[in-house]
Amino acid sequence: MSIQKPSIPKGTRDFGPSQMAKRNYIFRHIRSTFEKFGFMPLETPTMENLSVLTGKYGEEGDQLLFKILNSGDFLKDVPEDKLKKDNAKALTFDIAEKGLRYDLTVPFARYVVMNQHEITFPFKRYQIQPVWRADRPQKGRYREFYQCDADVVGTDSLLCEAEIVLMIHEVFEKLQLSDYAIKINNRKILTAITEYIGAAGKESEFCVAIDKLDKIGLEKVNEELAQRGFSSEAIQKAQPFIVLKGTNEEKLSSLQATLGQLPSGEAGLSELQRVFDYLKAFGVSIPQVDFDITLARGLSYYTGAIFEVKVNNVSIGSVSGGGRYDNLTGVFGLPGVSGVGFSFGVDRLYDVLEELNLFPSEAHTSTQILIANFDSDSERFALPLLKKLREAGIRAEIFPESAKMKKQMNYADKKQIPFVLMAGPDEIASGQLGFKNMITGEQKALTFDQILALFN
């Protein structure tokens, strides 16, 4: 075996102890919030059959799926004439039956359909797992990254939308994030606007253009609408929507006047009103909630509420999104199951917390006490103490060799161990052990029981 310089696939990362501690800090808060709201964990396999995955993410998505080469003689059943250099695309499904999970939503839908007779609806599940996309890697975009999804399926109650807002708010509070917006919209309102201005079906083009208002100004927005094929009459009728301002309630009542007559408008506005009413009934005021009619993500599958969460004043602000879908499981043969859900992008939350310097030092759950190793006598003296520390629930270790003290201190330092306990010949004789605070550098002489008491 020749010696090779090892590397990892591009777009993937190792997470060493300090990154893991920070990631776990985020996961912990998300998980405990999801559970507090009655969501239960689910995990699905890393590999899914390609028949489950393909056709669900658009043509681009299909190309971004990582496919697994069939095991054994993968060419056995392939017709000879298909083995052509220019035939890779057609050959793919002959030699690969499985692919890596691309998101958590499709596997969830697959799970619901396969287990529909065992599941009690409404089914509230959360799922925290990595997904894989063969995207071109770039800053903030990886080929392996984690999603944290929570969904409720089997009810169209708008209480679920309100609780999603509450959960986002709670997670952000725990992470000490306050400067952010929970943008909310409703697909039906977008439909109504395009109907109202006589450009039905052009929700997406409309949103893309008017979303730029702050950046390019009204005149340029109108120009862009024209370029995107909106008639001048449509553009004129669209003006009140483009410049829509005010509180959420003001926006709702302003839209009531124009869209309230259209069935889709009436439905969308009253759904959104209901969500706000629920939040009020909970007795909470969440100023970050922002009704934004330019929000149009996931238009291909969302049928009601649409969510997006943006952290302000950071480089990559969008850290969460979701919405209601009325036919998630239809493609797998189970129609009529309405659901609503959202997803936290942990890698982005990580970058945001790092950028804002919001990771608390306690996030790092390292060893609490290192026992220095002087010689075999000191080692023998220390082992029963080590056992007692651990029995008291303290994360503790002894340096496994009687190395130079500088090396041992450096070890504690690098591993961010806050305390070092020293029991050399003098300390053993006197019973007064050395106890060094690695942050302040201060060293005290304490009995073992006094040290134990510090951690109670």
Q: Which CB atom, from 156 or from 266, has the smaller least distance to its own copies?
A: 156
Q: Which CB atom, from 161 or from 427, has the smaller least distance to its own copies?
A: 161
Residue count of the chain, please give it: 456
Instruction: Check if the beta carbon of residue 183 is closer than 8 Å to that of residue 307.
Output: yes
The structure tokens 């929000």 sit at 295
- Cα gap 45→111, rounded to integer Å: 10
Instruction: Check if the beta carbon of residue 163 is closer than 8 Å to that of residue 305.
Output: no
Beta carbon of residue 421, minimum distance to its own copies (angstroms, whole number): 13
Q: Which CB atom, from 28 or from 220, has the smaller least distance to its own copies?
A: 28
- Cα gap 7→423, rounded to integer Å: 42
Instruction: Check if the beta carbon of residue 103 is closer than 8 Å to that of residue 151.
Output: no
Helix (H) or strand (E) holding 67: strand 67-69
Beta carbon of residue 250, minimum distance to its own copies (angstroms, whole number): 24
Beta carbon of residue 378, minimum distance to its own copies (angstroms, whole number): 12
Beta carbon of residue 168, minimum distance to its own copies (angstroms, whole number): 14
- Cα gap 274→163, rounded to integer Å: 12
Q: Which CB atom, from 63 or from 312, has the smaller least distance to its own copies?
A: 63
Q: Which CB atom, from 88 or from 257, has the smaller least distance to its own copies?
A: 88
Nearest to residue 342, comparing CAs of 289, 312, 300, 297?
297
Provide CB contacts within 8 A for 320, sequence distance 6+: 168, 307, 308, 309, 342, 343, 344, 345
Q: Which CB atom, from 387 or from 444, has the smaller least distance to its own copies?
A: 387
Beta carbon of residue 125, minimum distance to its own copies (angstroms, whole number): 7
**Tokens in use for 34?**
């999801």
Beta carbon of residue 183, minimum distance to its own copies (angstroms, whole number): 23
